[in-house]
A and B are shown apart, each in its own frame.
Chain A
Amino acid sequence: MIKAILIDDEPLSRSLIREYLEDYPEICIVQECQDGFEGVKAIMQQQPRLVFLDIQMPKINGFEMLELIEQPPAVIFITAFDEYAIRAFEQNAVDYLLKPFSRERFAKAMEKFMEHAGDPLSGTAAQPLLSTAALSPQQRQRIVVKTGGKIKIIRVDDILYLEAADDYVKIYARDGVFLKNRTMAYFEDLLEKEQYVRTHRSFIVNIQQITRIEPYEKEGRLAVLKTGTKIPVSKSGYARLREVLDV
């Protein structure tokens, strides 16, 4: 038996997949979820081998949900019409179902899944897809993180600065510090270059938070934020800062 989870906010859409799945008695839907929050919880608890995932959903979309799962299982993506999602799938050669899809098309997706014996969507395969998808206007506005057992949506405008911490990035926001397992380069790509500047190898700063810049030791400088925090500024970081501030 193969455990599967179905994540889609529309009951009719879920019933269609259930109907198509009658041809696959070995697949067992252990849980149905109607948003990404439920989806994260269900995947953690049930540890399914396969997930049917709709992209557009309430609260957080399918990509943001996957970001929160460290070892994602195999996923069959479903979307109705989302230019950014489709671009992300195409660029990364990931298969996806377009609503409305036929029984034959569904069978093809299942065949692919069976062929790979349900290989999980391993961390390395998921990363490029999620990085591309994160460039959509909706996802550029916010960052989704898991803190404790809860899911937190950070509005990008609320970010003060970011600091590299081993395999993670520490996000210092207005209402707390959060961790996300992404690289600094990823955030440098994602965030608006006019507002977020990489002042140092390990720091990205929201320039609206900077009150002044003071010299520090020989060649270095420090950016002083409104909160009083001092952020290191390297020589090249200072050049980038000057370019953005136009001074």
Chain B
Amino acid sequence: MATSPLAPFRNRLIFAACWLLWIAVQYKSLLEFQIDPAIALTDASLSNTLLAVMLALMIYILGLYRPQKRKYLFLLVWCLALSGLWAVMTRISLAGLFAHHPDYLLFLRKSMPLRFDITLLVTGCAAITSMLWHSQEEQKQQESRKRHAEKMARDAELYKLRQQLQPHFLFNSLNSISALTVSQPEQARKMIQRLSDFLRGVLKKEYQQWVTLADELQHLQLYLEMEQMRFGRRLSTEIIHDEESPAFLIPPLLLQPVVENAIKFGLYDTTAPALIRIKASVDRDLLTISVQNPFDPETASPRPGAGFGLSSVQRRLYLLFARNDLLSASAEDHHFVTMLKIPRHDQSHPDR
């Protein structure tokens, strides 16, 4: 709910002060016109109290509803209506109170147009101030929302970057290179080459641009080869695909987290030989990729859809295709299989 400009205590104080000041000013002016002081005081208090009530009401209503279009016309009509209402009420009540003072009644009738004008001016000022206050508040809120959204986007970006760089993998690879430099310098050089190519691939990737499966597989191959050097014969990989699939376009960075997950459970969390098998095939407009890895049921308890890697993939698939059935995982007999389905990319929607 929108707050009112009269909500802060300071503003209420100002409002009350203006009201009293206005009473004083009007009282003083009435005395100039030779009005009896008692009548003048009553006149000033009554008319200004009515005005204050009207204004408070108007400010309150503006807090609840403000038109987006033609707001100044709206304000003008509001002010005219309020001032008119105020004039009628003031005139009737004052005339009723001082019915036996013909001089005053005459003065009241003559001064009414002027009073109306002044009131219209005051009402207009209050309405515009109120409007300005509201638009300033809205702007403040919008800015804070924007700042918040920007911060979130920045954090997500940083997190994504860190994920892509895979610090754990990176530092372990560097350590392996360090170990190889003395005993097998040729191997060390090879590994540096692969690591560079891998990092270049990570840096080149853009979140929005789709890539062919062949490109993605080549990138993964670098990653797998490096893991092979780190873990020796314990890791073996197998990539099988049909004729059509290498040219199939897929969203970038979708397959990699799945393979990383397979490495995590199949290689990092076991000590037995690990075979990571990636299979890809196209059936009409659907590419199916399955990634299989062994797991140790004693220590790991892979549940379908569990793990950060997979939940982020699931979320991306949903954002891209509005479908929740494109990722599935199953565990049986020491093997964990993740199935990824990707619909054919519609070239007419490049931003999808």
- A interface residue numbers (CB < 8 A to B): 9-13, 15-16, 19, 34-35, 56, 58-60, 80-82, 98-101, 153, 155
Contacts and interface: CB of A to CB of B under 8 A. Distances in A.
A59 B176 contact: no
Nearest to B299: A59
A114 to B, nearest CB: 23
Interface of B: 167-168, 170-172, 174-180, 182-183, 229-232, 268-271, 296, 298-299, 301
A100 B175 contact: yes
Contacts of A82: 168
Nearest to A80: B171
Contacts of A101: 175
A101 B178 CA distance: 9
B334 to A, nearest CB: 14
Contact of B175 (A35, A58, A80): A80
Contacts, number: 69
A100 B298 contact: no
A13 B179 CA distance: 6
B271 A34 contact: yes
Nearest to B272: A58
B179 A19 contact: yes
A99 B171 contact: yes
A105 to B, nearest CB: 11
B172 A80 contact: yes
A80 B174 CA distance: 10
Contact of B172 (A34, A58, A60, A99): A99
B299 A81 contact: no
22 contacts: A9-B268, A9-B271, A10-B175, A10-B231, A12-B230, A13-B176, A13-B179, A15-B183, A16-B175, A16-B178, A19-B183, A58-B268, A59-B270, A80-B167, A80-B168, A80-B172, A81-B167, A81-B170, A99-B174, A100-B175, A101-B175, A155-B301
A59 B271 contact: yes
List 5 A-B pairs, minimum CB-CB distance, nearest first. A16-B179, A99-B175, A100-B175, A80-B171, A81-B167
A98 B171 CA distance: 9
B232 A11 contact: yes
B296 A59 contact: yes
A58 B230 contact: no
Given A16-B178, A81-B167, A10 B299 contact: no
A58 B269 contact: yes
A153 B299 contact: yes
Contacts of A35: 271
Contacts of B232: 11
Contacts of A12: 175-176, 179-180, 229-230
B271 A100 contact: no
A81 B175 CA distance: 12
Contact of B168 (A19, A56, A100, A153): A56
A228 B230 CA distance: 51
B305 to A, nearest CB: 16
Contacts of A13: 172, 175-176, 179
Contacts of B301: 155
Given A11-B232, A59-B271, A80-B175, 12 more contacts: A9-B231, A10-B176, A12-B176, A13-B176, A15-B183, A19-B182, A59-B298, A60-B299, A81-B171, A99-B171, A99-B175, A100-B175
Contacts of B183: 15, 19
B271 A10 contact: no
Contacts of B231: 9-11
Given A58-B296, A153-B298, A100 B180 contact: no
